Amino acid sequence: MVMPLALLEKSLNKRVTLLLKDSRTLEGRLVGYDEFMNMVLEDTEERTVEQTRKIGSVILRGNNVVSISP
Amino acid sequence: MVMPLALLEKSLNKRVTLLLKDSRTLEGRLVGYDEFMNMVLEDTEERTVEQTRKIGSVILRGNNVVSISP
Amino acid sequence: MVMPLALLEKSLNKRVTLLLKDSRTLEGRLVGYDEFMNMVLEDTEERTVEQTRKIGSVILRGNNVVSISP
Amino acid sequence: MVMPLALLEKSLNKRVTLLLKDSRTLEGRLVGYDEFMNMVLEDTEERTVEQTRKIGSVILRGNNVVSISP
Amino acid sequence: MVMPLALLEKSLNKRVTLLLKDSRTLEGRLVGYDEFMNMVLEDTEERTVEQTRKIGSVILRGNNVVSISP
Amino acid sequence: MVMPLALLEKSLNKRVTLLLKDSRTLEGRLVGYDEFMNMVLEDTEERTVEQTRKIGSVILRGNNVVSISP
Amino acid sequence: MVMPLALLEKSLNKRVTLLLKDSRTLEGRLVGYDEFMNMVLEDTEERTVEQTRKIGSVILRGNNVVSISP
């Protein structure tokens, strides 16, 4: 059994891909999270259907996150 | 009586099909979940009306999940 | 007075019709539920305006359910 | 002062009209409710802009209800 | 300082205008409310862009209310 | 450090501009609020893209408020 | 490990960029926040696809915030 938060813990300091409710994709290094699945990414790239751009560090509110791929 | 979380427990390490609120379908092996129905899938395939693609491991936030078919 | 959860209890092992927020209709045998109105259906048929298809067992998240008809 | 739940209590076994978030109207006899305003209706008629149809008994999730007219 | 619930209390038995999330406007006499801002109106008129109609008594779920004008 | 509720406290009896989720703007004198950021405005003007109109006193439910500018 | 709220704390009195659910971007100096990620910005600029405008101080409700870039 792999608890969802345990997999986040294992993903610390690794690159993850987040899908957000507004259908943007963020790819960055996961450097922190809390029990609400709020997350901190570094060296983040944001991808939409139109473009890709670097956005550096970002704090994500967990309730906007659909899925996280380690 | 089959409690919803008990059926998730029975589905561990088996393939399940998730329907998400954004109408994507994910099919993968369920390797973990928590009491909020956050889930961890492995060997996951994502299907939309346009395409099917492999997305490997994924953590799903429970509040984006509509239904789970074991 | 018929409490909503009491009517779910009485509907166990009987066929019920669920209307979901995404306007799909599910008809199946109710085999379980919890206090959040998460439910487990078996021998389920899903109906949309376009089609009807058998989807077997399914766990429904209560917050996607609009109404349940015993 | 008429507390909202007290008016529901007074409406037991009487016909009420519910407006749902999806803009359907349900008219039926209120036979039960709980503190979340989940409700049980009997002899229910559902009305949309297109049609009226009898749907018998129905359990409504309170968070889909906009208003209740005794 | 006028607390929001204190202003509701002061508005009891007076006519108020409610704006709902679905952009309908209800005007009626406020006869009750609870701490979730569920409310009871009497002699209510509902106004949409298309029409005005009398709907008598109505229980409103607080989470569908945007604003209340005494 | 300026806590959000402390800034509301400091704004009491001053004019503030609220942006609502339905994209209306309200400008009025803040005369009260509670811990859910429900607020009471007086001498309020409502502005939409089409028009500006005076709406006097208004109670706003906090969960419909996006931002408050003192 | 960088907890999300710890990164907000470190960002105090620095300029941050907020993305809101309604897809506006706010850039301003973060002068306060609480545990719900309600925030106070000063010297704020609001950017939409159409325009940029100065809006001074603003209190943001956390549940409208998608992401914060320090």
Question: pLDDT tens digit string along A5-50?
Answer: 999 999 999 999 999 998 899 999 999 999 999 999 999 999 988 8
Give me the pLDDT at residue E70, please: 92
Give me the pLDDT at residue A49, please: 83
Eight-class DSSP state of E10: H
Question: What mean pLDDT value characterizes chain E?
Answer: 95
Give me the pLDDT at residue D23, please: 87
Which residue range forms the structural domain that includes residue A58? 4-69
D37's enclosing H/E stretch is none
Give me the pLDDT at residue B18, please: 96
Check which CATH number belongs to the domain holding D59 and give it: 2.30.30.100
Q: What average pLDDT does the segment E43-50 reach?
A: 91
Question: pLDDT tens digit string along G12-67?
Answer: 999 999 999 988 999 999 999 999 999 999 999 999 888 999 999 999 999 999 99
Q: Which residues of E touch D36 (CB under 8 A)?
A: none
Predicted confidence (pLDDT) at residue D50 exceeds the cutoff of 90: no
Give me the pLDDT at residue G59, please: 97
Are the beta carbons of F70 and G57 separated by less than 8 Å?
yes
Q: Give the gap in angstroms from C-alpha B67 to the nearest C-alpha of chain C.
A: 5
Confidence of residue D21 (pLDDT cuts 50, 70, 90): very high
Do residues D25 and E24 touch, judged by C-beta distance below 8 A? no
Predicted confidence (pLDDT) at residue F28 exceeds the cutoff of 90: yes
* Residue D28 CA neighbour count, 13 Å, CB half: 26
Predicted confidence (pLDDT) at residue D28 exceeds the cutoff of 90: yes
Cα separation, F9 vs F63, whole angstroms: 18
In total, how many domains does chain C have?
1
Among the partner-chain residues C22, C57, C63, the one whose CB lies closest to the CB of B70 is C57
Eight-class DSSP state of C22: T
Q: What are the tokens at C69? A: 């008809």
Annotate G2-41 with DSSP letters as a single string.
--HHHHHHHTTTSEEEEEETTS-EEEEEEEEE-TT--EEE
Q: Give the gap in angstroms from C-alpha D4 to the nearest C-alpha of chain E.
A: 6
- Chains with 3+ CB–CB pairs under 8 A to B are A, C
Confidence of residue C50 (pLDDT cuts 50, 70, 90): confident
Contacting E with CB below 8 Å, chain D residues are: 1-8, 21, 23, 37, 62-63, 65-70
Q: What average pLDDT does the segment F27-46 reach?
A: 96
Question: pLDDT tens digit string along F39-64?
Answer: 999 999 999 888 999 999 999 999 99
Q: What angle do CA C49, C50, C56 make, to 5 degrees?
A: 90
Among the partner-chain residues B22, B31, B58, the one whose CB lies closest to the CB of A68 is B58
Predicted confidence (pLDDT) at residue F23 exceeds the cutoff of 90: no
Give me the helices (H) in chain C, please: 4-10
Chain centroid to CA E4: 14
| pLDDT tens series, chain B, 70 aa | 999 999 999 999 999 999 999 889 999 999 999 999 999 999 999 998 889 999 999 999 999 999 999 9
Are the beta carbons of B58 and A37 separated by less than 8 Å?
no
Give me the pLDDT at residue D60, please: 97
Predicted confidence (pLDDT) at residue E30 exceeds the cutoff of 90: yes
Interface test with F, best of G59, G61, G64 (most F CBs within 10 A): G59
Q: What average pLDDT does the segment E42-58 reach?
A: 93
Annotate F32-69 with DSSP letters as a single string.
EE-TT--EEEEEEEEE-SS-EEEEEEEEE-GGGEEEEE
Are the beta carbons of F4 and G32 separated by less than 8 Å?
yes
